[in-house]
Amino acid sequence: MPSDAWKEDVEDQGTVNLGIGQTRKKLVSVFSFTRPLDPSDWSRFMTYASRVRKLKVYIEADGGVPGSVWHEIHLDVLRALSIHQPAKMLFPKLQSLCWSSRIRHTFPYIHLPISATLKRLSWTSMDLLPDDDVIFVRSLTQTCPRLTTIQMSELDSETRPTVLSLLSEFLGLQVLELSMNSSTPFDIKLLSKLPSLRQLALNLSESLLGDENYVDRIRESKERGFRALETVIVFGGDIGSYATIFRIAQPRLLKRIDLYPSSIPRPPELRTFFQVLLECCSPNILTILKIQCYRVHPDSTFGELDTMTLALSRNSSSALDLT
């Protein structure tokens, strides 16, 4: 863009709480247009836009150090791009998009940088309206058939089954990261339909809820999903939720498991979980298991934990981390 067409103004938006009684100024650099763009401006824009392979649209603090600045795009810029969009695809060769906006009313403009060449997509938005995520993911199935990585947060509990069903249509998807306020065994079953998925990361705000009879029926059926899954990472939830996930998933090619439970597991729960792993995962392929808790439950003893660690390491895991 010509230098007279845009500006960046640094605004003082109060203070940020850094914890432990520390605060600092919140400085935000806002990018905006200074005038309407004319045809020659768009021509120059498209020349450079065709070279862009990776794009980030978000508010970001530069490392959280004193004097760092958040970066923000003014909503009027997104409106102008939407109204006067010079081409069907603003970034025709874009391969990676990160959209992490906490500015209200910005999500409707996420379609602007979307390209058929897109392979990696990450988005976080705090102002979704009902069905916004369904409409967007449904459009992705048509516009971005080559997606191999999707990261999305805060799936709405009402639209979650529809969104997950749509995600299962991305047959080339290899990496999926989801944040969910609540989840059920049926959600895991939907995700198991992804034939190329190699890494699944879940952020669970609550423990997995569901009917045990449903889980048992899935285990007894001959249908198997997650045919390519190699890595599972779960934040939040409890050990019981993890056991349910693996009972449904039956990931025979799993190589790595990283778990970060929000509640402290008791020894009986750990024993049950380890037994599920030994039944559901291949003992010759699983090589890394990490369960990280910040505290040890008062009922636990090192002797009990050591016994379970050895039992698992002999059967399946060559690298085991229980912290």
- Tell me: the pLDDT tens digits for 18-58? 555 667 777 788 888 898 888 888 888 888 889 999 998 87
Q: Give yes or no for residue 81 having a pLDDT over 50.
A: yes
At 309 the pLDDT is 44
Q: How far apart are CA 90 and CA 317, in angstroms?
A: 48
Full set of structural domains in the chain with CATH: 1-94 (no CATH), 128-322 (3.80.10)
At 317 the pLDDT is 46
At 51 the pLDDT is 93
- What lies within 8 Å, CB to CB, of 245 at 6+ separation is 188, 202, 208, 232, 234
Q: Give yes or no for residue 112 having a pLDDT over 70.
A: yes
How many CA atoms lie within 13 Å of 229's alpha carbon, on the beta-carbon side?
26
At 120 the pLDDT is 97
At 180 the pLDDT is 84
- pLDDT top residue among 201 and 20: 201
Q: How far apart are CA 103 and CA 124, in angstroms?
A: 11
Burial class of residue 130 in the structure, from the number of CB atoms within 10 Å of its CB (0-12 exposed, 13-18 middle, 19+ buried):
exposed
Written as one string, the DSSP assignment of 10-47 is EEEEEEEEEETTEEEEEEEEEEEESSPPPHHHHHHHHH
Mean pLDDT along residues 304-319: 45
66-70, 165-169, 240-244, 258-262: least confidently modelled range? 66-70
Q: Give yes or no for residue 308 having a pLDDT over 50.
A: no
40-44, 162-166, 229-233, 267-271: least confidently modelled range? 40-44
